[in-house]
Structure 1
Amino acid sequence: MGFSREYSDTNISGGVPIKKNQQHLSVGTLIVIIAIIGIITSMSGCVSSSTDDSELGSASGSESGSVSASSTSRASDELVVNVYSHTGEPETGFDPLLGWGCGHVNFEPLIQSTLFKTDDEGAIINDLATGYSASPDGKTWTVNVRDDVKFTDGEKLTAEDVAFTFNTAIGSNSELDMSNLENARAVNDTAVEFNLKEPQSSFIWRLRYVGIVPEHAYKKETYGASPIGSGPYKLVQWDKGQQAIFELNDNYYGQKPYFKKITMLFLDRDTAFAAAKSGNVDIAEIDITHANQSIDGYDIISLPSSRAFGVSFPMQNNTGKKSLTGDTIGNNVTADIAIRKALNVGIDRKAILDGVIYGKGDVEYTGVDQRVFGNPEARIKDSKPEEAIKILEDAGWKDTDGDGIREKDGTKAEFKLYYSSSDQTRQALSVAVSEQAKKLGIKINLVGTNWDEIYANQYSSAVLYAYSSIDTFNLYQQYHTKEADDTYRNPGLYSNPVVDGYLETALRTSDQEQAIENWKLAAYDGNTGFGPSADATWLWLVTMDYLYAVDETVDMGTPEKNSGSDILGNIYEWTRTSATDTAQK
């Protein structure tokens, strides 16, 4: 298992009443559950031999009251979770410079501190930082750092460690995008200066998720297995392929969480669901297919996210051009705006939302509808097949031979749609789009395959992608001409000079309000834009919530809005309620 290559956030919803649906466990799943019980009941036993680091001792006992979960007993301030199924176990360990907590999927790193955090509304707030400023030209950012923070080995954290972290990240060859950072330097012990190649209004999001590592104790080859940090927890045990155990950092400078110990299991969603049914986890990320099921003693909750699913369209005609890797560029059907607009208008997103993901999400039109920089004016009214048919007819797409497929100048309204064959949700979304398109006279041929094959065809065929980010820089990467190269950030090779202008202004300004306004204009300015009201570059479909089974004794506080993938982001607020009365399942 490893970190997802794809980006994989509407209002927070609470527990959803679910009808019980009895299921029989397979022999394989039963074996896994037996193994899980063995792992959890032996948590306080000897340390795994996977590491020789002296920092990783066995978990200490707790004096607090116990909580019983099925055959497993643990202290009320101990938590067992399986919450990162969408990223998987970190192959390179718990190293933020190699992707732990940041990269394509961002989440609370637990072990390390970050310069900034986000509150439950998604606004940037200080963590290690006490404040920041940007130069008038937007190319120099200065961040002030707390002077009362220590790493878990007792060494003081200073601006030198911050500068070291980001300078190392520049050349880490990981999913971290530090391409615009020239360098970072410590001005003194409590101030660090970031020098950018070009102004970037969204740079603060680069500072939000990267965990700070200690310069004196960082070695790329070994840090991930025995990390030293300044976050709320420390890693005390890692049994590769099974679990990681974190204990409270007693010297943590911030609000200390209630839970003194977190055992993180690395299970797929289906196995995690079975583990929850057996009462062996407090919280488990489960697959959307379990949305209409229930577990005694658990709430099934859905947490909204910006995980938007949509179909990318090749925007250029096929003229024989090839990409840098020799892949075909262009599609003579999807390059016609009438095809793209008809699909955006004719598709019934609500039917797809309810039919494919059980209503656990929201309809989506621009990919960023729920963000502060989303533009409501860029959206359209959908589920209008008559209007869609008129768009096609007016553009010359007609079914002259009666085969149910429209054609224009000898070209059939037919194209391929690629999706990941290992993802049932993407397959179901692709099937739904294909079935609805057929009613409009557009034939979509589905191709389920691996990602290497998908990337090789993304410039000539439609692809069912999922994107998720709170970082506005991703809009620039996704729609700017400069990014129309060999990268799946702009798979359609979209290019619009007016949109480029808005994106450049949004990125380069130091005025956040001006930046937001220009991000919105890039989607639609009343005339042009990347959204469905104008160029219709994508067929965005839905955003999908993250689904969790949560022990009814666990109070999760107020999760951050639209960040369902980062369920531990507000771990500081979590408690266990009625531990001695209602913990028995």
Structure 2
Amino acid sequence: MTVLRHAFAALLLSTAALQAEVPDLVLAIGGEPDTGFDPLLGWGAYGNPLFQSTLLKRDANLATAPDLATTWSLSEDRKVWTITLRGDARFADGSPVTAADVAFTFNTAKGAAGAVDLAVMVRAEAISSDTVQIGLDRPWITFAEAFYTLGIVPAAAYGPDYGRNPLGSGPFRMVSWAEGEQLIVAPNPYYYGAPSPFGQITFLFTGEDAGLAAAQAGVAHMVSVPAQLADAVPAHFHAVPVQTVDNRGLSLPFQPPHEVDGRNIGNAVTADPAIRRAINMGIDRDLLVEVALNGHGTPAFGPADGLPWAGAGDTIAYDLQGALNVLDAAGWQPGADGVRRKGALIAAFPINYPAGDATRQALAEIAAELLRPLGIAATPVGGSWDAIQRVMHAEPVVFGFGSHSPYQLYSLFAARLGGVDYMNPSYYANPAVDALFEQAQAAESLEASFPLWAAAAEHYGVAGDQAWAWLVNLDHVYLVSDCLDLGPTQIEPHGHGWPITASIANWQWTCN
């Protein structure tokens, strides 16, 4: 009943908006953050933090642009960042944004040990009212990602309840938040950027099916939908498919079976390079996109397809006969049941996926069918993330990643991160990759590091160790009112949060 009452209220808002000179938007583009709107705990990492400004931002082409920062430089030893701030930034209460607020934000985020990884930071210090220096304990160029994602909070107003009463210098201020139902925001009158044309924006927390129903009823002006609902476009709406690096891939435990700190590591079947190569050659990714995603996606060959740090030419053609030849040459012989064997080893393993995720279930089931003609017996197994955590270092899992930072590569393939949380779950290790990663982290800028990250793909990717079988990149599909122009959109990262809001400053209403 709560959702129905809210939908009716939103409908009234929508109707009034259509009649008003400055429209009020109603959006259903995802759920609310569990920890509230606190950037120190991860809010804004996958989109625009709305209430807070960041030091830097990315345009539609992912090129760096200033936000709070006007200049930024890295010392010759790559261990000290010096950042100068614009002088006209104000929090939504009218108080100025100073270097002390930036230093407080970074130092407090490090102590919070939340979703923002600032492990290499020693300390941030305001050296004047508009200049901050941030010291690192070693060269680490991907630290700069925090400049794009960490929203700046006011030192004087930050406290335990900040996430539910956020105050920032971003384009919007909070009007109200009914948890589990809706968030209402309005333009920040002190925002230094171009003012929003929308008098108010309401975010509905309805779920996918209810969000689509809200659009069909004229309640919402934009909704995000999964691939299975992407073709159900309401009247006076159009679909906006957005390219992403929101990938789904099959982890392939890299090492032979052994035990580390009581944890089972490795898999005798997937540790064989021939098995990994045959899987990558023998999966028809175009078919996966068509069947599992209803055509709303693209084949994936790595974790950063289309980004500057992806491996050049890191693709592999579907070749069933070639995959069979690889297995034959490696001594994997078909048994009477059609399943291949190599000595006492049987080419069989589970494919784990989180139960309740229809897309990952479909990918697991279709991948298993595609592996059957190879003589590889893969069994889809749905379970909780707790259950998956217990087996993910020894059995394949359908994982999802995708980031605007090359640190994503480090987190997946650096040997030192094997088994750390969900990073490098397959315990991949290659000294050549680690050496390139260290060179990349020591680069003079993010842009200078890109060729080094890309070169690592020659070792971990489909031309090298084939450490994963990447399957698909999802399209993020939004059903958008014909009156709402989103402008150019970014290649979006993993779908946590509201990545489409990265371009919210460019949205325009085109109807009178």
Query: Under a length normalisation based on structure 1, what TM-score does the superposition of the two structures give?
Result: 0.84
Q: Deviations over 1:523-557 (max 9, x none)?
A: 10xxxx00011100000011001111111111111
Aligned AA for 1:578?
Answer: C
**Other-structure match for 2:331:** 396
Aligned partners of 1:419, 1:366: CA distance in 2, in Å? 19
Q: Per-residue CA shift, 1:18-45, capped at 9, x if unaligned?
A: xxxxxxxxxxxxx57632333325769x
1:248 to 187, 191, 199: 187
Report whether the alignment pairs 1:201 with 2:144: no
Secondary structure of residue in 2 paired with 1:331:
coil
1:539 is aligned to 2:472:
no
1:114, 1:212 within 8 Å by CA — same for their partners in 2? Answer: yes
Q: Which amino acid aligns with 1:174?
A: G
Contact residue 3 and residue 206 of structure 2 kept, 8 A: no
TM-superposed deviation, 1:167: 0.3
In 2, the alpha carbon distance for the partners of 1:473 and 1:521 equals 14
Give the deviation of 1:359 after TM superposition: 1.7
Query: Do 2:245 and 2:491's aligned partners in 1 also have CA atoms closer than 8 Å?
Result: no
Partner of 1:135: 75
CA contact (8 A) 2:349 2:395 kept: yes
CA shift, 1:293, in A, is 2.0
Query: d(CA) in 2 for partners of 1:224 and 1:254?
Result: 23
Q: Name the aligned partner's letter for residue 108 of structure 1.
A: N
Change (3 A) 1:370 1:198: same
Taking the aligned partners of 1:149 and 1:450, their CA distance within structure 2 comes to: 45
CA distance in 1, matches of 2:247, 2:488: 22
Q: 2:424 aligns with which of 487, 490, 493?
A: 490
* Cα distance, 1:74–1:463 mapped onto 2, change above 3 Å: farther
Q: 1:573 aligns with which of 503, 506, 510?
A: 506
Paired letter, 2:324 = I
**Paired residue for 1:118?**
58
Residues 160, 511 of structure 1: CA spacing in aligned structure 2 closer, same or farther, 3 A cutoff?
closer
Please name the residue that 1:181 is paired with. Answer: 121
Residue 24 of structure 2 aligns with which residue?
78
1:286 to 225, 230, 236: 225
Asked whether 1:217 is paired with 2:157, we answer yes
- Deviation of 1:287 after TM superposition, in Å, equals 1.8
Q: How far is the alpha carbon of 1:299 from its aligned partner? A: 0.8
- Conserved? CA contact 1:345–1:380, under 8 Å: yes
Report the counterpart of residue 33 of structure 2 in structure 1: 90
Match of 1:16 in 2: none
The corresponding residue for 2:486 is 556
Preserved contact between residue 250 and residue 398 of structure 2 (Cα < 8 Å): yes
Identify the residue that residue 519 of structure 1 maps to in structure 2: 453
Deviation at 1:135, TM superposition (A): 0.5
CA contact (8 A) 1:32 1:271 kept: no
Which of 380, 384, 404 is the matching residue for 2:319?
384
Q: Does 1:258 align with 2:197?
A: yes
Alpha-carbon distance change, 34 to 76 in structure 1, aligned in 2, over 3 angstroms: farther
Q: Which amino acid in the other structure matches residue 337 of structure 1?
A: P
CA–CA separation in structure 2 for the residues paired with 1:81 and 1:296: 17
The residue matched to 1:217 in structure 2 has which SS?
coil
User: 2:132 corresponds to which letter in structure 1?
Assistant: V
Mapped partners of 1:292, 1:504: distance in 2: 45
1:408 is the counterpart of 2:342: yes
User: What is the deviation of 1:77?
Assistant: 2.1
Q: How does 1:414-493 map to 2 (within 5 A)?
A: 414-493=348-427
From 169, 172, 189, give the equivalent of 2:112: 172
Contact 2:22 2:197 in 1 (8 A): no
Q: Please give the per-residue CA displacement for 1:428-466, whole angstroms capped at 9, x wherever unaligned.
A: 001111000001100001110000111110111000001
Who is 1:8 aligned against? none
- Gap change, CA 1:203 and 1:228, over 3 Å in 2: same
SS in 2 for 1:436: helix
Shift of 1:203: 2.0
Of 558-567 and 238-247, deviating more is 558-567
Task: Provide the rounded CA distance (Å) in 2 between the counterparts of 1:273 and 1:66.
Answer: 20
Tell me if 1:309 matches 2:248.
Answer: yes
1:351 aligns with 2:287: yes
TM-superposed CA distance for 1:503, in Å, is 0.9
- Residue by residue over 1:213-258, the C-alpha shift from the partner in whole angstroms, topping out at 9 and shown as x without a partner, is 0000110x21112111111110011111111110111111111111
Is the aligned partner of 1:331 residue 2:264? no
- Go from structure 1 to structure 2 and tell me whether the alpha carbon gap of 1:347 and 1:32 turns closer, same or farther (over 3 Å shift): farther
Change (3 A) 1:513 1:253: closer
Give the structure 2 partner of residue 341 of structure 1: 277
1:285–1:548 CA contact under 8 A, matched in 2: yes
Partner of 1:10: none
Equivalent position to 2:4, from 34, 48, 70: 34
Alignment of 1:258-277 (within 5 A): 258-277=197-216
- Structure 1 residues 336, 197: CA separation in 2 closer, same or farther (over 3 Å shift)? same
Separation of aligned partners in 2, 1:74 and 1:37:
20
**In structure 2, C-alpha distance between the alignment counterparts of 1:33 and 1:157, rounded to whole Å:** 38
Label 1:74 to 1:454 Cα distance change in 2 as closer, same or farther (>3 A).
Answer: farther
Q: Identity of counterpart residues, as a percentage?
A: 35
Contact 1:258–1:572 at 8 Å: present in 2 too?
no
Aligned AA for 1:175?
Answer: A
Seen in structure 2, the aligned counterparts of structure 1 residues 74 and 491 have a Cα distance that, compared at 3 Å, is: farther
Gaps of 5+ in 1: 1-30, 45-64, 580-585
d(CA) in 2 for partners of 1:514, 1:559:
25
SS in 1 for 2:360: helix
1:52 equivalent in structure 2? none
Please tell me the residue identity of whatever aligns with 2:64.
Answer: I
Counterpart of 1:570, as a letter, is: S
Please report the RMSD computed on the Cα atoms of aligned residues, expressed in angstroms.
1.7
Going from structure 1 to structure 2, the CA distance change for 1:372 and 1:188 (only over 3 Å counts) comes to: same
Deviation at 1:479, TM superposition (A): 0.6
Shift of 1:562: 3.8
After superposition, what is the alpha-carbon deviation per residue over 1:49-70, rounded to whole angstroms, capped at 9, x for unaligned?
xxxxxxxxxxxxxxxx9544xx
CA distance, structure 1, for counterparts of residue 316 and residue 426 of structure 2? 21
| Paired AA for residue 280 in structure 2 | N
Contact 2:311–2:455 (CA under 8 A) maintained in structure 1: yes
Distance 2:339 2:285 in 1: 22
On the 8 A contact 1:312/1:462 being kept in 2, the answer is yes
Number of aligned residues: 509
